[in-house]
Chain A
């Protein structure tokens, strides 16, 4: 059975502190953000291949499997992600494949299990994040997603708290904005939904000073809504 989102931020922080880590897992992060009204793909933790298969069947195919470990930042790099699994058998086999690959590439990583997640349809990738500036405090960031964001640095920033106008401006400020407007025959993305996501995340950051950083990457933008496919929360010492 897929567990409903029960993780509170306080609970997740307690658990993380006990385990001596500052990074919440993808599952914890998503549950906390879902409670705050932020659209995220639901991820359920499976701790065995059988469980993974059962959970996947209940969710509906295709699914994505992702390694859950507080010690792994780039899951794909260590073979920790398999997408497009469309049968119970494929999922069970996928589970085993992931564990084998990860244990080989990062033997010291603490493994909690594998997250099973409904595969979201392909959309325009964007990245939305929050980090803390020593002078200004919490800062929101927006950019088009993918590998290029780190290379091109085509991102915009605004200081928390954000007004509606700030979210609208920061989305339109990036050089790649025409992609969101629907370049090359693609449908325009739901920019209003992107702005709403930025504002919600900004409010969440403002209300929770113990949160040090948030990464929503990638967020898929469709013509009618957005959804964060991966999420990561880093906790600090309270603002």
Chain B
């Protein structure tokens, strides 16, 4: 459920600023403790909930405790191999991170216990607060907020999924990967999108370092997590799912600062609640919410997306492609028709497909098969490289594009029909092909993307995409997806350099 705030912007801003100042010590260090916990306590997990939280935390590499006062629940909890205590106070350990899943009437008590225990942070999975827009919900939210604020207790949420740390195995759900590190952080106003990003991203080779679903954000809000992730050495790219912000000025400042250090992708969801505004002037009547949001994102130097697929594609281009500020694409397709379409796709996204240098043309002339092929840029190369059947030629092609000064980045079609035919004859050929693509990605100084359209051979293409992504080759499912992702990544790097 969404939370709608109807207070004045001024009141929100004043509160947000006082809260930021209100937390003692270095907030980033305190968040680092919560996001990299050695000890985790789950409060209030129940059989009725399928022990969802204890199961999610099964992969936690540190010490996991359960706090559950209901005696009928304890046998089930202990059967999971988790030690249970009747209260937080009784846990014989410092607790870095608490996931609170109790019903709303008990939440305030647990938050108070967290304060007494001086835990690192507490995330309230509990819902039924201000997002219900009821008097009871609003009052309950006020209570937990006040207890946390008065006790200098880091409060995440309420109404959220809290923290996910892939390496340490602190999870939101049992479906999430755990045990190995990642490098992409996600900050989400929605629990669904936060979990989905980690799951769908994983299929595309994206590994999350940490994520946080931040719910109603009564104390800690998106800019706080953003500031923390900028300092987190594990995180290289930061992604956010945002529907609205309470303190736009603070958000802008955090975004600007973050984008100067690490790539930031902001996925905007929904439209803001339009304030009623008397229209006195041209200016006010032309300033609509989406136009302002778009301008703010451009000004902050972040990449802006509005759906999950494009968000994941942009992240792939940022994580797997070497940074470049040049827009010249070298395009390699397998047939004439595809060479036309791939060129359209990249040009539509504002990238260039320049002629190569004369030196490149002279070198290509020595081996390129121009019967049923051409090498203007785009290169119609099916007959020359046979989709890896003639690996020597593909290697030569890569080397020529590497040396060509007009080419800043290379995109190559991985054609299902070509590969399927070859693979039936010689299954080991795929290994060789993947190796060559991985070598190109590793050794080239220029960003390199592959496009493996599922076409009518979804299973083979999925295997190829997975293998290429596993070797760090940015692989996309369509020309336009690749072009859009490259254009966004290049735009980001250009902004970092102060170009445009």
Tell me the total A-B contact number using a CB cutoff of 8 A: 88
B281 cross-chain contacts in A, Cβ below 8 A: 129, 131, 213-215, 217, 232, 234
Give the dominant DSSP class at B's interface.
Answer: helix
CB distance from A233 to the nearest CB of B (A): 10
- The answer for the CA separation of A23 and B298 in the assembled complex, in Å, is 32
Closest B residue, CB atoms, query A238: B10
> Given known contacts A159-B296, A214-B283, A234-B280, what 6 new A-B pairs fall within 8 Å (CB)?
A131-B283, A135-B272, A150-B285, A157-B291, A169-B299, A215-B280
A169 cross-chain contacts in B, Cβ below 8 A: 298-299, 500
- The answer to whether the Cβ of B26 comes within 8 Å of any Cβ in the partner chain is no
Whether B272 contacts A130 by the Cβ 8 Å rule is no
Closest A residue, CB atoms, query B280: A234
- The answer for the CA separation of A162 and B270 in the assembled complex, in Å, is 27
User: Which residues in A have some Cβ–Cβ distance to B below 8 Å?
Assistant: 22-23, 73, 127, 129-131, 133-137, 139, 141, 143, 149-150, 153, 155-159, 165-166, 169-170, 212-215, 217, 232, 234, 239
- The answer for the CA separation of A158 and B294 in the assembled complex, in Å, is 9
Whether B9 contacts A158 by the Cβ 8 Å rule is no
- The answer to whether the Cβ of B371 comes within 8 Å of any Cβ in the partner chain is no
CB distance from A65 to the nearest CB of B (A): 22
Closest A-B pairs by Cβ, 7 of them: A129-B283, A136-B248, A157-B295, A135-B248, A215-B281, A134-B275, A131-B284
CB distance from A202 to the nearest CB of B (A): 12
Q: Which of A23, A135, A136, A212 has the most CB of B within 10 A?
A: A135
Whether B285 contacts A159 by the Cβ 8 Å rule is no
CB distance from B483 to the nearest CB of A (A): 22
Whether A158 contacts B295 by the Cβ 8 Å rule is yes
Whether A157 contacts B248 by the Cβ 8 Å rule is no
A149 cross-chain contacts in B, Cβ below 8 A: 282, 286
B275 cross-chain contacts in A, Cβ below 8 A: 134
A137 cross-chain contacts in B, Cβ below 8 A: 9, 248-249
Whether A213 contacts B248 by the Cβ 8 Å rule is no
1/0 per position for B291-313, CB-CB distance to A under 8 A?
Answer: 11001101100000000000000
User: Which residues in B have some Cβ–Cβ distance to A below 8 Å?
Assistant: 9-10, 244-245, 248-249, 252, 272, 275, 280-287, 289, 291-292, 295-296, 298-299, 498, 500
A133 cross-chain contacts in B, Cβ below 8 A: 248, 287, 289, 292
A139 cross-chain contacts in B, Cβ below 8 A: 287, 292, 295
CB distance from A39 to the nearest CB of B (A): 19
Whether B248 contacts A141 by the Cβ 8 Å rule is no
CB distance from A174 to the nearest CB of B (A): 12
A159 cross-chain contacts in B, Cβ below 8 A: 248-249, 252, 292, 295-296, 299
Whether B282 contacts A127 by the Cβ 8 Å rule is yes
Whether A150 contacts B284 by the Cβ 8 Å rule is no
A158 cross-chain contacts in B, Cβ below 8 A: 295, 299
B282 cross-chain contacts in A, Cβ below 8 A: 127, 129, 149-150, 215, 217
CB distance from B257 to the nearest CB of A (A): 13
A215 cross-chain contacts in B, Cβ below 8 A: 280-283
CB distance from A18 to the nearest CB of B (A): 19
Closest B residue, CB atoms, query A155: B286
Whether B283 contacts A130 by the Cβ 8 Å rule is yes
- The answer for the CA separation of A133 and B294 in the assembled complex, in Å, is 13
Whether A213 contacts B292 by the Cβ 8 Å rule is no
A156 cross-chain contacts in B, Cβ below 8 A: 295
- The answer for the CA separation of A212 and B10 in the assembled complex, in Å, is 13
Closest A residue, CB atoms, query B300: A159
- The answer for the CA separation of A157 and B291 in the assembled complex, in Å, is 8
Closest A residue, CB atoms, query B284: A131
Whether A136 contacts B249 by the Cβ 8 Å rule is yes
A166 cross-chain contacts in B, Cβ below 8 A: 299
Closest B residue, CB atoms, query A162: B299
- The answer for the CA separation of A170 and B500 in the assembled complex, in Å, is 11
B295 cross-chain contacts in A, Cβ below 8 A: 139, 156-159, 170
Whether A213 contacts B245 by the Cβ 8 Å rule is no
B245 cross-chain contacts in A, Cβ below 8 A: 135
Whether A157 contacts B249 by the Cβ 8 Å rule is no
